[in-house]
Chain A
Amino acid sequence: MFDTSFLKPLHDSAISEAIRFSPWIFPTLETLHFFGLCLLVGAMMVVDFRLLGILRAGSVKSVLRLTHLAIVGFAINLLSGIGFFVSSPENYAQNPLFAAKMILVLLAGLNVLWFELAERQALVALPTSAALPARTRVVAGFSIALWIGIIILGRFLPLLGIG
């Protein structure tokens, strides 16, 4: 494992101790993390299945409105996730499953960025019945696979350290 001593000041900080020693802050963050998960996964499920063509009702433009709920879910999980990390930074930094999870989150972010820059504009102009290009389906397939992987890694974190 690499040297994580630079995280020691964070570990010793007042906010880290507050989360670590409080009987309710960590459980509350976990509950928020699960709530955000449902919001994010629910929204991405509908959006990605629509882009894959498994769901056909509604224009792509109308369904993409749900990405706003996905962003809210992601924001909740980013903030609660930072709370987890701050409570025990060295443990998370040394956990390879945490690193793997963060890599998948980064890839999911790049996937969204690609969609926004290269796909969205052309798709929202399409009529409801139009078949979507194969490259759009690839983006949607990546999205589903990445979020499933992120949940699995998240649940497995305690296996190799504190999670």
Chain B
Amino acid sequence: MEFLNWLGASPLAHWVSDNMLVYYTLLAGHAIGMGIVVGFVYMLSARVMGFGIDIPLTIFDRLYHLTWAAFGLNFATGMLLFSANPRNLIVNPPFLLKLGFIAVGGVLLWALSRSLEGEPVAVSAGGTAASARSRTLALVTFLVWTAAIVSGRIIAYTVKYV
């Protein structure tokens, strides 16, 4: 708590919370990063579940880098947004749930890509359905990242600002 008091009173926190242009720029960056990260998860999971089955799974390989870059952007913008109101956010259940969903969603995405690596070549080439295990992982990954968005939205309506 001492650290959070220090963080909340730091010049960095004031730069974010006192400067509307900075605050909204961070929000916009966070939204773009979300679109890339969750958008990637949505497209990969839709494809694994059978939508657009002719698309080779290798198309997602090159997007991994962009998705990681977007995740880095959201980590950075997220930390700065957090610094503006740390003591209230750290006790806000939707905020903690969101972090939990992101952590679980990350592990699931890793598990999904491991599962896909174990599939026959015909699956990644397109046209052949993935295994039930991969499809189930894809569905759960989709749901967990959606839960992260939902809890993220609820933060704005539940967190205190003083």
Q: Is A159 an interface residue (CB 8 A)?
A: yes
Residue of B nearest to A50 (CB): B59
Cβ-defined contact, B153 with A30, below 8 A = yes
Q: How far is the CA of A159 from the CA of B25 in the complex (A)?
A: 11
- Count chain A residues whose beta carbon lies closer than 8 angstroms to a beta carbon of B: 35
Contacts of A35 in B (CB 8 A): 146, 149
Q: Which of A45, A63, A69, A154 sits near B40, CB closer than 8 Å?
A: A45
Q: When each residue 127-163 of chain A gets 1 if its CB lies under 8 Å from chain B and 0 otherwise, what string results?
A: 0000000000000000000001001101110110000
Q: Is B43 an interface residue (CB 8 A)?
A: yes
Q: Is A71 an interface residue (CB 8 A)?
A: no
- Count chain B residues whose beta carbon lies closer than 8 angstroms to a beta carbon of A: 37
Given A55-B62, A58-B55, A42 contacting B154 (CB threshold 8 A): no
Q: Is B119 an interface residue (CB 8 A)?
A: no
Question: Separation in Å of the B69 CB from the closest CB of chain A?
Answer: 12
Cβ-defined contact, A69 with B51, below 8 A = yes
Which secondary structure dominates where chain B touches chain A? helix
Cβ-defined contact, A57 with B59, below 8 A = yes
Cβ-defined contact, A42 with B35, below 8 A = yes
Cβ-defined contact, B43 with A42, below 8 A = yes
The number of inter-chain residue pairs (CB within 8 angstroms) is 109
Contacts of B51 in A (CB 8 A): 65, 69
Cβ-defined contact, B157 with A69, below 8 A = no
Residue of A nearest to B153 (CB): A31
Q: Is A46 an interface residue (CB 8 A)?
A: yes
Q: How far is the CA of A43 from the CA of B39 in the complex (A)?
A: 7
Residue of A nearest to B35 (CB): A41
Residue of A nearest to B21 (CB): A159
Question: Separation in Å of the B24 CB from the closest CB of chain A?
Answer: 5
Question: Separation in Å of the B30 CB from the closest CB of chain A?
Answer: 8
Across the A-B interface, give the 8 residue pairs with the lowest CB-CB distance, nearest first: A42-B39, A41-B35, A62-B54, A65-B52, A38-B38, A155-B28, A57-B59, A41-B39
**What are 5 A-to-B residue pairs whose CB atoms are below 8 Å?**
A35-B149, A43-B42, A46-B59, A156-B24, A156-B28
* Chain B residues with a Cβ under 8 A of chain A: 20-21, 24, 27-28, 31-32, 34-36, 38-43, 46, 51-52, 54-56, 58-59, 61-63, 66, 126, 146, 149-150, 152-154, 156-157
